[in-house]
Structure 1
Amino acid sequence: MFKRLPGDETRNLVSTTPDTAVVFRPAVVRTPAAVTIAIFIGRLLVGLARLIWRHPVAVAVFTIPSVVAWQYGWRIALIVTWVPLSVLIPWALFNRESFNAWIGWRLLAFWRLIWVYRRHWHAVMTVSGLARHLQGRDYVPHLMRVRCTSWADLVSVKMLTGQAVTDWADRIEHLAHGFGATSCRVSVARAGRLLLTFPRRDPLAVPLPAIALPTTVSVGPLEIGICEDGRPWRLKIHGTHVLVAGATGAGKGSILWSVIRALIPAIWTGVAQVWGLDPKLMELSFGRAIFEGHYAATPEECADLLEEAVSLMQKRAAKFAGVQREHIPTVEDPFILIVVDEVAFLTAYQNDRTLKQRIMAALATLTTQGRAVGFGVLAALQDPRKDVLTIRNLFPDKIALRLDESEQVDMVLGDGARDRGALADHISSVPEEGAGVGYMRLETSPDPIRVRAAYVSDADIRDMAALFETEGAV
């Protein structure tokens, strides 16, 4: 007997011979033309309403002159057009920032939506493999919205059902070149929605001079540079540990000294201390007076200083036990930041095994127990391999400056960081362009943030040290 098949009945089978394939015609449901037209008109109206809601300025610019010209003639339309232009042009010339905020970026977003993204969307999605063709139908991710800022396009996308963020993160180069951008970054907006960032220019291309000394006492977050979106880069150091990795000349010193510079008022008033470990004898020695005796250069001195910090930390923990759970910086219990330049020299390249074990044990103790009692570690290294610093996962916040290999990005920032747009291996090796530029990944977010630290020159460091060498200088 034959089972009932989809489509026609078994009597319509072409052949029932065992050696012949079973052929049948699938069932076809014919949609009435009126239903098809109604669906098309409904989608058109919804699309127009969405366009007016998301781009009111652009729609008004194009529709109002057209309607006036149709109703009253081109002369009246010219007058209607010229009156607002006589106001908008001076506004754009004399107050560009507010003009862009209200009108400029909206018009640019509408233009780039139509001319760049909507125009190439289907082709880029298909070629990059993000679109799917199933059972004769094309399934393409939905382009939701385009917003423009002073430096980038922010494209909202609705993923196909069943897609994952990694499907997009693995194709950031396809997306960047497909839409004519230098790079692309992928972040999750909400369930099923992504935010693609396509930079139009590089706001971090120009070096940033040293930031002025703060006028208020604070232990963080400290302003040490700028973020790619123009906001000040404020680095949290109190209540966390920070690892900075970068090749030679990448600008690790800019981050170390910018942090120390931002702490100067707190150091002067006694609510913070900076302890320096400088095994290279080249970076921190310029400002030795700032460390107020807590400075070490040789491996033996570094081991002693770290063990002193561990002892003080444990005494403070015993003091806080059952009394308080969070540290509040005071003169009696100051915040202590331990700055280690080229930590790999102490943990991997040290020939004395006993010293290496002492240093590793002290660093591990500080990074696992120091956050709650006001001890922070800021460490810098060149080689991010696991065997060089086995405790790198104990640093919640990480910064990757220029790196030599793409694999090193995930070694520093964690798995998937490069796929999300942290292209630290693409940072320029020219000091004026790339020194101090990097990507930061915080404990609270998987998305990397592109930043640039201010450059603190030797003269700036000497001026800072002079504040502690001269009595009553502040």
Structure 2
Amino acid sequence: MFRRLPGDETRTLVSTTPDTAVVFRPAVVRTPAIISVIIWVWRLLAGLARAVWRHPIATAVPVTFGVIGIVYGYRQAIAVFGVVLTSAVSWALLDPDSFRAVIGRRLLAWWRLVWIYRRHWQPVMIISGLGKHLHGRDYLPRLLRVTCDDWSDRVTVAMLAGQAVTDWTDRVDHLAHGFGAASCRISTLRPGRLMLTFPRRDPLSIPLPAVPIPQTAEVGPVEIGRCEDGTPYRLRVHGTHILIAGATGSGKGSYLWSIIRGLLPAMRAGLVQIWAADPKRMELSFGRDLFGPCYAATPDECVELLEAAVKVMQERADRFAGTRRTHAPTVDDPFIVLVVDEVAFLTAYQPDKQLRARAIAALATLTTQGRAVGIGVVAALQDPRKDVLTIRNLFPDKIALRLDEPEQVDMVLGEGARERGALADHISPRPDLGAGVGYVRLEASPDPVRVRAAYVSDADIRVMVARYAGEGCR
């Protein structure tokens, strides 16, 4: 015999007959039909309003043709549709850039939202662990918006309450493969909001020719190449120190020579001096006539050059004390750029312990006190380990080119850089695809930016030497 008991009465029930089954029947509260209808209508109207707000063009087009069809007949609607379609195709053929900016990207964003992200959102979130399935209900981060540009999709997401950014950065591989992208990069918009960037293609896969020499003498940001979104990349040199790390053949010379190339007019005007320490005697020696007496090749000369920069720094600090807090380049006090190629030879591989200690002491002094008085250090090395360059954290701005190991990315760019999408260990070793490609992390922003420096060829350097020799360090 079966007894059905409502609610929680079964908790206190004790059965002494083994053949008697107890069946639990939960209490049911009947909702009036009018309330269910009101809730359903409210959700329908809210969904329609949300669709119109998020996709005004995609909703306006079918509504407009529907209204024309009802008022004037469907033949007129088809005729209008044909005229609009013909006009759109003509616009796309005659001026593809403006068509892509006004209509094309919006249509692409709507299609990617519907077909890629919204369709796969629930399984990707659940399987990756960013969403939770509890008691038959899914708790998912909200997909707010999708925008497209020429190379990537940018997805705006509202995190679940209690989530942290690290919960997402730990799962960039899950997100990339889940939505069919080569990689995923995460940046924080504001508390609780993230921007996920999914590249559709790689605009940096083609080598870049040398950037033209500027026409004006400026010490501002130097254009050295191109960002991943296709815009020119300008690197701030004055008022900072830059560390460039990358394996052999990764393109460190492209950054060094692009910086030098961009400062040549200011060097001729006397606003900039470029001092070069070249212990390898290969990279910078090709344009040694640009640097004049401020070029050093042997270990002894390199250390003496570093210590000479320290003396200039201390002399300026004595003069500037109590009168100014920042440096403005002038002919009397020019901005000094100290370029050190393969700095590890001076700080770790130098067999002379005294020279090694002097080099480390000079670099530490310059990187801690130099930028306030107009002395910047641009150092390049292959091995970013701490025992190779103990003062790497004294460089505010860092550039990671192709690296051999995933752990080296955080060594160069700082903790968490690889989780944010700086996959420097995935850069192609082929010179045509990966030389000069790197991730830049600036002092003012924790998010790495993928760039590619222009290639300055031997012919370009010869032209630079012919035009600007003897005007560097007077």
In 2, Cα distance between equivalents of 1:285 and 1:455: 17
Residue 418 of structure 1 aligns with an amino acid whose one-letter code is: R
In 1, Cα distance between equivalents of 2:202 and 2:353: 46
Summarize the Cα distance change of 1:26–1:310 in structure 2 as closer, same or farther, 3 Å threshold: farther
Residue 188 of structure 1 aligns with an amino acid whose one-letter code is: T
Q: Is the 8 A contact 2:8 2:26 kept in 1?
A: no
State the partner residue of 1:196: 196
State the partner residue of 2:253: 253
Normalising by structure 1, what TM-score?
A: 0.93
Residue 166 of structure 1 aligns with an amino acid whose one-letter code is: T
The reply on whether 1:13 has 2:5 as its aligned counterpart is no
State the partner residue of 1:171: 171
In 2, Cα distance between equivalents of 1:16 and 1:273: 96
The reply on whether 1:93 has 2:93 as its aligned counterpart is yes
The reply on whether 1:420 has 2:420 as its aligned counterpart is yes
State the partner residue of 1:80: 80
State the partner residue of 1:440: 440
Q: Deviations over 1:208-261 (max 9, x none)?
A: 100101011111211110101111101011111011111111000000000000
In 2, Cα distance between equivalents of 1:242 and 1:40: 59
Query: How many aligned positions are there?
Result: 460
In 2, Cα distance between equivalents of 1:470 and 1:131: 64
Q: Deviations over 1:326-384 (max 9, x none)?
A: 10000000000000111111111111000000000000000000111000000111101
Residue 465 of structure 2 aligns with an amino acid whose one-letter code is: A
In 2, Cα distance between equivalents of 1:30 and 1:244: 69
Q: Deviations over 1:165-192 (max 9, x none)?
A: 1111111111111111111001111110
CA shift at 1:37, angstroms? 3.2
Summarize the Cα distance change of 1:285–1:85 in structure 2 as closer, same or farther, 3 Å threshold: same
Residue 236 of structure 2 aligns with an amino acid whose one-letter code is: K
State the partner residue of 1:60: 60
Q: How does 1:304-453 map to 2 (within 5 A)?
A: 304-453=304-453
Summarize the Cα distance change of 1:423–1:290 in structure 2 as closer, same or farther, 3 Å threshold: same
The alignment's C-alpha RMSD in Å is 1.9
Q: Deviations over 1:301-326 (max 9, x none)?
A: 01100000000000001110011111
In 2, Cα distance between equivalents of 1:25 and 1:315: 89
CA shift at 1:45, angstroms? 1.8
Summarize the Cα distance change of 1:367–1:137 in structure 2 as closer, same or farther, 3 Å threshold: same
Summarize the Cα distance change of 1:26–1:269 in structure 2 as closer, same or farther, 3 Å threshold: farther
CA shift at 1:102, angstroms? 1.0
Percent pairwise identity: 66
Q: Is the 8 A contact 1:130 1:140 kept in 2?
A: yes
Q: Is there any run of 5+ residues in structure 2 with no aligned partner, and where?
A: 1-5, 17-22
SS in 2 for 1:456: coil
Q: Is there any run of 5+ residues in structure 1 with no aligned partner, and where?
A: 1-6, 18-22
Q: Deviations over 1:407-427 (max 9, x none)?
A: 111111011111110011111
In 1, Cα distance between equivalents of 2:355 and 2:15: 84
In 1, Cα distance between equivalents of 2:294 and 2:29: 83
Residue 372 of structure 1 aligns with an amino acid whose one-letter code is: A
SS in 1 for 2:293: coil
In 2, Cα distance between equivalents of 1:137 and 1:330: 67
Q: How does 1:163-242 map to 2 (within 5 A)?
A: 163-242=163-242
State the partner residue of 2:125: 125
Q: Is the 8 A contact 2:280 2:342 kept in 1?
A: yes
In 2, Cα distance between equivalents of 1:29 and 1:423: 55
Q: Is the 8 A contact 1:14 1:24 kept in 2?
A: no
SS in 2 for 1:293: helix
State the partner residue of 1:3: none
CA shift at 1:59, angstroms? 1.8
In 2, Cα distance between equivalents of 1:11 and 1:204: 69
State the partner residue of 1:47: 47
